[in-house]
Chains A and B, each alone.
Chain A
């Protein structure tokens, strides 16, 4: 989400708990419609992992986490991103149905990086993309299969999820930009 220099917090967008519950219902529907047997849940650091944890608990499915820092497309411009926890996929993803989770999808570049990283671990049977919030600022042809909230934002506005307890989704105005 970049450096949030000089930010103004706004009140929470919506009842985040209700959004999560809605997302879980959508995911159950997605799983039954597409017949996703024994899915594995993979969250993208950091917010995606919080949501993925809830989804994995709900589905009683194994949880993995991705740190996409080494797969980003802005190394030439911004250099190496500071390290959070390393990626950890404690299972074999070959021929499995994956549910890839991020908290917010904006440009789609994070998801592009995550897909590239996933395929360095193996060849899954399928990848479904789920997110709490999708912002209408896509730069790549990537769409979520399940999404609890769709937003239209103006330039300089960002959505931020804070958590993990409690999870709160808010809009941030980036004064620096």
Chain B
């Protein structure tokens, strides 16, 4: 089966997962995003690429930062943006998800940004509902959060350069993190050979050994001489479900402090997807310190989202163009 998110020419037309995307494609996304970082420095922070296109933010699950950066990214591409909080709209009146989406499609939407608690939701919509609407996955269940992983890659590449010689530690709740899996996948695809997962056994997935990474329950051992420390957010609801002893205990074992950061390379960078729990997974002095990339990540997040949105729209345009040229071909071979 061909990859649902690619045209037959191998161009992006949806952005659902990093699986099936090769190094060249990931590098093209990063290169495109690099060009969009510059747009943020212009007096007019906008480019006309998606002028006249309609982008619908479909958030079935709350996420202020992701939603606002997607909205800003769409606006910087000059698209018209509609943000729907699905929980408070039609679905609560009994309209089915499919009907809601069909209605939105009839409004001539060009792109859906989908955030959902169920794994595979964005994939389902791309496959079943709207093949001619570009679907961007903004996080689905425990499955994937590909734009977050790519903005992390952009942060690493802009501050550390090539991935080959780097040692990267991912610290925290690997088990429940929808972004860790994508980060590992992206790092491996981009050539990083030393990827270390650090956290308590209870928060480490069983299958992790097969991903070609090393695991460490000892934080000092895990982050020794690394170039990059990626801290994951500890979801406090996990405390209640007996995965963890207590916040204090967790911080003592896995919290990133100034002292502990000295174990990593002197010029190591510290990343965190936010929102940060100060004093639980990261000390304020580190979060606000010179090695912290946390706020850079937010700006790069806009650039990455602009990149995948414009690339997916570009693939859709080429597909539509091919369909116009050859209307009998329903598969639109491009």
Are B43 and A76 neighbours in the complex by a CB distance under 8 Å? no
A76 to B110, CA, bound (A): 12
Q: Complex Cα distance A119/B47, Å?
A: 11
Give the residue of B31, B43, B48 whose beta carbon is less than 8 angstroms from that of A70.
Answer: B48
Q: Check if B42 sits within 8 Å of A86, measured CB to CB.
A: no
Residue in chain B with minimal CB distance to A116:
B48
Residues from 5 to 59 in B contacting A, C-beta threshold 8 Å? 11, 28, 31-32, 34-39, 42-44, 46-49
Give B37's nearest chain A residue, CB to CB. A86
- The residues of A that contact B310 with a CB separation of less than 8 Å are 70, 80
A70 engages B28 (CB within 8 Å): no
Cβ–Cβ contact A79 & B34, under 8 A: no
- Among the listed A67, A71, A77, A83, which residue makes an inter-chain contact with B28, where contact means beta carbons less than 8 Å apart? A83
Q: Which residues of A lie under 8 Å from residue B35 when comparing CB positions?
A: 67, 69-70, 83, 86-87
Q: Residue A75 at the B interface, CB < 8 A?
A: yes
Q: Are B38 and A86 in contact (CB under 8 A)?
A: yes
Contact residue among A71, A77, A117 (Cβ-Cβ distance under 8 Å from B321) = A77
How many interface contacts (CB-CB < 8 Å) are there between A and B? Answer: 55
Chain A positions within 8 Å of B315 at CB level? 79
Any chain B CB within 8 A of the CB of A121? yes
**B314 engages A70 (CB within 8 Å):** no
Point out the residues of chain B lying under 8 angstroms from A83, CB to CB: 28, 31-32, 34-35
A75, B32: Cα distance in complex, Å: 15
Q: How large is the interface on B (under 10, 10 to 19, 20 to 34, 35 or more residues)?
A: 20 to 34
Contact of B47 (CB < 8 Å), options: A70, A78, A82, A88: A70
Task: Give which listed residue, B31, B42, B317, contacts A75 with CB less than 8 A.
Answer: B317
A120 and B34 form a contact (CB under 8 A): no
Residue B311 CB within 8 A of the other chain: yes
Closest to B43 in A: A122
| A79-B318 contact in complex given A70-B49, A86-B37, A121-B42, C-beta closer than 8 Å | yes
Q: How far does the Cβ of A112 sit from chain B's closest Cβ, in whole Å?
A: 12
A74 to B, closest residue via Cβ: B317
Do residues A75 and B314 form an inter-chain contact, with CB atoms below 8 A? yes
Closest chain-B Cβ to A124's Cβ sits at a distance in Å of: 12
- Which of B309-324 touch A at CB < 8 Å? 310-311, 313-315, 317-318, 321
Rounded to whole angstroms, the CA-CA distance of A134 and B140 in the bound complex is 53
B133-177 residues with Cβ-Cβ distance < 8 A to A are: none
A36, chain B: closest CB distance, angstroms: 22
| Smallest CB gap from A79: residue in B | B314
Known contacts A77-B321, A79-B317, A80-B49; A86 and B34 CB within 8 A of each other: yes
Q: A70-B39, A87-B38, A120-B42 are in contact. Are A80 and B32 (CB under 8 A)?
A: yes
User: Is there contact, CB below 8 Å, between A77 and B317?
Assistant: yes
Smallest Cβ-Cβ distance to A86: which chain B residue: B35
Please provide the chain B residues from 284 to 334 with a CB less than 8 Å away from any CB of chain A in the complex: 310-311, 313-315, 317-318, 321
Measured CB to CB, the closest approach of chain B to A66, in angstroms, equals 10
CB distance from B53 to the nearest CB of A (A): 10
CB within 8 Å for A76 and B47 given contacts A87-B38, A88-B38 = no
Q: Give the distance in Å from the alpha carbon of A120 to the alpha carbon of B38 in the complex.
A: 12
List A residues 127-159 near B (Cβ within 8 Å). Answer: none
- A80 and B42: CB pair below 8 A? no
Contact of A71 among B32, B48, B318 (CB under 8 A): B48
Which of chain B's residues have a CB closer than 8 A to the CB of A116?
A: 48
**How close is A87's CB to chain B, nearest CB, in angstroms?**
5
* Contact residues of A between 94 and 126, Cβ < 8 Å to B: 116-117, 119-122
Question: Which residues in A have some Cβ–Cβ distance to B below 8 Å?
Answer: 67, 69-71, 75-80, 82-83, 86-88, 116-117, 119-122
Offer 30 A-B interface pairs, CB within 8 angstroms, sorted by A.
A67-B35, A69-B35, A70-B35, A70-B48, A70-B310, A71-B47, A75-B49, A75-B314, A75-B317, A76-B317, A77-B317, A77-B321, A79-B11, A79-B314, A80-B311, A80-B313, A80-B314, A83-B31, A83-B32, A83-B34, A87-B38, A88-B38, A119-B44, A120-B43, A120-B44, A120-B46, A121-B42, A121-B43, A121-B44, A122-B43
- Add 4 more A-B contacts to A70-B49, A79-B11, A83-B31 (CB < 8 A): A70-B39, A71-B47, A121-B44, A122-B43
Q: Which 6 A-B pairs have the closest CB atoms?
A: A79-B314, A70-B47, A120-B44, A80-B314, A86-B35, A83-B31
